[in-house]
Amino acid sequence: MADGNTSKDRIGQAAAILNSILSSPDATSSVTCALNEGPPVTARSDSVETELASLFRAGAASRSSAVTPGNQGPSLAGPSTPRFQAQQCFGPWSTSKRRRPKGIQYHESFNKEVILLPDSTWEVICKPPFKQYLHENGHILSAFEFHKSWDYHTVIQQIRNGFGSTIPQNVSLQIVMGCGNKLIAPKLQDGQQLNGQLIQRVFRSKALYVRPSQTLLEDPEERSTTTYQVSPRTTRAMARSKQFSTIENPIVHSNELESFHQGVNYSSFCSHDTIEANIPPYFQTSSQSSASVHPNSISTSTSATNFNPSSTSEVCQDETTAHASANYSTYLSVMSNVSDLSSEDEEMNHAILASIETHLSETSSKTLHVKDILEDLSKKIDNGMNCKFNVNRSAVLDGAIRGFKRVTYNPHFSMNVKFSDDFGRNEEAVDLGGPRREFLRLLIDALSISPMFEGPDDCKNLAMNSTALREDKYFMAGRAIAVSLVHGGPAPRFLSPVLFSCLVGGPNAACPTLKDITDAELHEKLKKVSESLTVEELQRATDPLFDYMASAGCIRRLTTIRDRDLLLHDLLMFHVVHRVQGPFQRFEEGLKTLGVLDAVKQHPDSFQSLFCYEPQQLTADMVDDLFTPRLAPEGSNRRRVEEAVIPLWRDYLQDAEDEGSSKLENILVFATGAKEIPPIGFSPAPSIEFLHESSEECSSKRMLPMANTCVNCLKLPIITSYEVFKENMDYALGNTQGFGRL
């Protein structure tokens, strides 16, 4: 009875709630709207293009997601967006300019593959099978290190040292390069040689081939017992297939592989004759058995994987995958050979690498002229401060050392040089540029003949001098060269390439030769060692060198003739480089003055012509272009007579050039105090003025030329006769004793 009353009460409560809902106008209207509104109708795409447009276009996306008019639901807080919002802001299609990375370091050395050809008749590039044969016989140096400072003879000698006993001493070498499938000798201009810098430019990323004058390696046809093939990749499926084939069918599927090769279109890659023409006869046999595979044959592996899952077993999967893997491995091995035979991709890669290497190298030495580098270093000089040098012409080096050792000396201060003659009287010169250039010119000349250096005049190395080492003169020599370059003096131009290589790349970068040995007796003994052809001759040649070899730490057993080159190299390195490490370190410290050594290491190509000798002679045109005439106003009487002197001056320069470049140097010394054009240039620029009869400077009856080296000004007399003009010029040049002394 109680349960019945409870159910009646619940029904009554539900009826009351329903009546309250129906009696509410808001609830009634909400239910009516919900019943009248149907499901949202979305736009369907009629085609793939419409669907893509709706995804990737903002306008289409909004249109496709809109509801049909007439069935408007409650408004949303924001505009509707597609479920997958694609990126709307696309960048421009044009590529932006890439900026060069800053701070790229210059590398003095570079690595290159060097391939030693078997004989003198080899005229085609080496392909991978034959390259493996050369590699096994020691005819390939994969990453041989070249230095840009090497000359041609150093390059050849270093290649000999790299291959060791593979190249006999009596065999000459020729450097050739690949051009397509052929080997050719690089064509150079007259006077050019393949030095280290030129090899980097010409060969880029190509391999460097070396052709010997004699046969060094036997013909590959005689080595028929060896095979050179590319091993296919081994997968787990191939391994399992091998297990099954060993049990069920131990014979290789040669018939299937042969039928696989018969469907190949060889013309899609290259002609078969081309392959035979570029592969040695021994390797043609192995290459013919693995012909080129058409890429469409890879579909075998693709179709083999589309199987029915209901009717498969692990054995069928392994066998099918094994066949596909074998075919694909064969395709890879053949394509590797075909890609080597086509030089288009290789040339493209070379061009890309060459472009990158060009950008790296051009940001170092080739983008900055040495004059710009020195002008940048000279900005550190404070012209408001000066250091005094009291110099006698007969002892310029001693006067320079005294000035450098003075406590108040600072290389960043300007130099004030005062000369005195042999009698101790002061010369009439106040340094505004001319005496300083004269002093630096005499200082560099004194260094070249000092006992701190030895060797020919144009190729000097450091000498071991205990007195100079004790008095720290090697440091002063390095400082003198650095100061001369930055303060407007001449360049040394007498250091050897070996010494310059040590300055740029350290002692290990040096490669001395017999010409660097100045001791005649030692040179003769080492020459006999280099000319030894047998072990007995080598032992006899080294007997007189026993004490010297002991000092150099080169005592060793000489069992084969191959020990000769290594012994000779060690002795040369000891005498030219290691023996003078103490002087070299102090000389290097001196060159750090004003940041010169750091600039040399960053731009060795620019500075090499300043440190090492290169033939450079003054010409009449160079001197004429150097001086700018300062003429009187146009239309005046002075202008007319001054213009008549200019042809006489140019004729005199031409006659001086015919007599020899030394006379042109004397003219430059007379006018500027410098024997050559300084690497940093003249400041101010040289000029020509004229001495008229009415001027105070032309009071003497004999009108002689005058010069003001402080401002690099040459004053020419007004003379109409060329014979008189030439006589007066010769007299002035031959009787000048100093500044203001004639």
Residue by residue, DSSP assigns 307-370 as --GGG--HHHHHHHHHHHHHHHHHHHHHHHHHHHH-HHHHHHHHHHHHHHHHHHHIIIIITS-H
Between 541 and 271, the higher pLDDT residue: 541
- pLDDT value at 288 more than 50: no
How would you class 553 by CB atoms within 10 Å of its CB: exposed for 0-12, middle for 13-18, buried for 19 or more? exposed
Those residues whose C-beta lies under 8 Å from the C-beta of residue 549, and which sit 6 or more positions away, are 542, 555, 567, 571
- pTM value is 0.52
Mean pLDDT lowest for which of 316-330, 635-649, 677-691? Answer: 316-330
Catalytic residue among 502, 612, 698, 710: 710
- pLDDT value at 676 more than 70: yes
Best mean pLDDT range from 48-62, 237-251, 710-724: 710-724
**Which pLDDT score is estimated for 37?**
58
State the alpha helices, DSSP H only, in 57-112.
58-64
- Token pair 């030693």: residue: 116
Using one digit for the tens of pLDDT, what is the confidence trace for 372-395? 999 999 998 988 888 999 988 888
Using one digit for the tens of pLDDT, what is the confidence trace for 180-207? 888 988 888 777 888 888 888 888 778 8
Those residues whose C-beta lies under 8 Å from the C-beta of residue 119, and which sit 6 or more positions away, are 212, 214, 215, 216, 217
- pLDDT value at 72 more than 50: no
In angstroms, the CA 320 to CA 634 distance is 99
Closest CA to 580 of 691, 477, 426, 692: 477
Q: CB 262: neighbour CB atoms within 10 A?
A: 8
State the alpha helices, DSSP H only, in 24-171.
25-36, 48-56, 58-64, 128-136, 152-163
**Which pLDDT score is estimated for 57?**
53
**Which pLDDT score is estimated for 698?**
52
In this structure, CATH architecture of domain 109-217: Roll (3.10)
Between 284 and 564, the higher pLDDT residue: 564
- pLDDT value at 685 more than 80: yes
**Which pLDDT score is estimated for 245?**
43
**Which pLDDT score is estimated for 681?**
85
**Buried b vs exposed e over 298-308: b needs ≥16 C-beta within 10 Å?**
eebbeebeeee
Contact criterion met (CB below 8 Å) for 253 and 323: yes
Contact criterion met (CB below 8 Å) for 447 and 492: yes
- pLDDT value at 458 more than 80: yes
- pLDDT value at 298 more than 60: no
In angstroms, the CA 423 to CA 394 distance is 11
**Which pLDDT score is estimated for 544?**
92
Tokens standing for 285?
């046999």
Contact criterion met (CB below 8 Å) for 697 and 707: no
- pLDDT value at 331 more than 70: no
In this structure, CATH architecture of domain 376-510+577-611: Alpha-Beta Complex (3.90)
**Which pLDDT score is estimated for 694?**
63
Using one digit for the tens of pLDDT, what is the confidence trace for 405-435? 999 999 999 988 888 764 545 444 445 567 8
Between 188 and 568, the higher pLDDT residue: 568
pLDDT confidence band for 463 (50 / 70 / 90):
very high
- Token pair 């020509």: residue: 688
> Residue range 679-694: average pLDDT?
84
Using one digit for the tens of pLDDT, what is the confidence trace for 485-539? 999 899 999 999 999 999 998 888 888 999 999 999 999 999 999 999 999 999 9
- pLDDT value at 141 more than 50: yes
Q: Average pLDDT over the chain, rounded to whole?
A: 74
CA distances from 111 to 147, 206, 453, 540 (A): 9, 11, 33, 38
572 conformational bin, left if phi > 0, alpha if psi -120 to 50, beta if neither: alpha
Strand, coil or helix: what is 3?
A: helix
In this structure, CATH architecture of domain 620-734: 2-Layer Sandwich (3.30)
- Token pair 């609830």: residue: 27
Asked about 316 being catalytic, the answer comes back as: no
Using one digit for the tens of pLDDT, what is the confidence trace for 145-180? 998 888 888 899 899 988 988 898 888 899 998 888
Closest CA to 481 of 440, 542, 521, 532: 440
**Which pLDDT score is estimated for 247?**
41
Q: CB 432: neighbour CB atoms within 10 A?
A: 14
In angstroms, the CA 215 to CA 210 distance is 12
Ordered by start, the domain boundaries in the chain are: 109-217, 236-344, 376-510+577-611, 620-734
> Residue range 472-484: average pLDDT?
95
How would you class 502 by CB atoms within 10 Å of its CB: exposed for 0-12, middle for 13-18, buried for 19 or more? buried
In angstroms, the CA 431 to CA 698 distance is 24
- pLDDT value at 707 more than 90: no
